Amino acid sequence: MTVDNFLAGNFARWAIIHYALAVPDDHPPTGLRQRKKADTRRALSDAALALAFERGLENVTREDIANVAGVSLRTFNNYFTGKYEALAYRQTERMRRSIAALRERPAGEPLWTAIAHAVLEPLQADLHEATADEDRLPSRGELAEVRKLLMNPQIREGASRELLEDWRDAIAERTGTDPENDMYPRLVVAVVRAVGDAAMDTYATADPPVAITELIRAGFASVAAGMPEPAKPGEQRG
């Protein structure tokens, strides 16, 4: 698969759901100049992921990413410190949109319902933009590349501290807890991350393939239900 074909499919917009290393942009683009900068960041991030899928991330350089995105190496360096930060940008951006979506959910909505909607809305929007199918099933070839990326510790280690604190603050606002002193909002953030981790691991290894949106829905539904133990084969639950 060539880089051009890969980008045409836009799989780079959504292949890795939860793992982010970059520090998020605190100020969404407003003017024309800021929007152009945001477009350049997205183009570089898409190019980084496309090349990682085509060549393997270890074989991708900053120069390669800049060339595919149609910019100079100097421009790349103005936006990102390296390929891992470029690779993370799309995912970081999506997580920030989830935090904003959580703050907009109805006040009386159950917490885990609100969180599930907030996590899924940006993902479904990106999937629909990329493939016109928010529940698209990945091919086995795509899953093989996802597994390779997830084995990289620099990708797998987690979201930036600042972004996790933003999640904590949004949850504290919704639940009336203290983000600095109460454990509850931190515990909720840890569970949100765990659902993302479990969904991504299952997504990468499922045979036959399962849509990532289906896995995330199931994960949050299980949490909302109190994590009931699954029925054993042949066992009936009253």
Q: Specify the DSSP class assigned to residue 59.
A: G
CA 10/CA 127 separation, integer angstroms:
9
The whole-angstrom separation of Cα 177 and Cα 69 is: 44
Q: How far apart are CA 224 and CA 231, in angstroms?
A: 17
Query: What's the domain count of the chain?
Result: 1
Residue 183 lies in a domain: yes
Determine the angle formed by the axes of helices 212-224 and 184-205, rounding to 10 degrees.
Answer: 140
CATH (domain of 183)? 1.10.357.10
Tell me the chain's radius of gyration from C-alpha atoms: 19
Task: With respect to residue 175, please indicate whether it lies within any of the assigned structural domains.
Answer: yes
- Supply the pLDDT for residue 157: 55
Considering all CA atoms of the chain, what is the largest pairwise distance in Å, rounded to the nearest integer? Answer: 65
DSSP run (H or E) holding 156:
helix 153-156
Instruction: Tokens for 170, please give them.
Output: 């949004």
**10 is a domain residue:** yes
- 29 in a structural domain: yes
Determine the angle formed by the axes of helices 83-104 and 161-175, rounding to 10 degrees: 10
Residue 237 lies in a domain: no
> Residue 169: exposed, middle, or buried by beta-carbon count in 10 A (0-12, 13-18, 19+)?
middle
| 236 found inside a domain | no
Give the tens place of pLDDT for each residue, 32-86: 788 888 889 889 988 988 888 788 778 899 999 999 999 999 999 999 988 888 8
Residues of the chain with pLDDT under 70: 1-30, 127-159, 236-238
Q: What is the number of other CB atoms lying within 10 angstroms of the CB of residue 166? A: 22
* Residues spanned by the domain of 17: 3-224
* Cβ atoms of 121 and 101 closer than 8 Å: yes
In a domain, 230, yes or no: no
Residue 94 forms part of a structural domain: yes
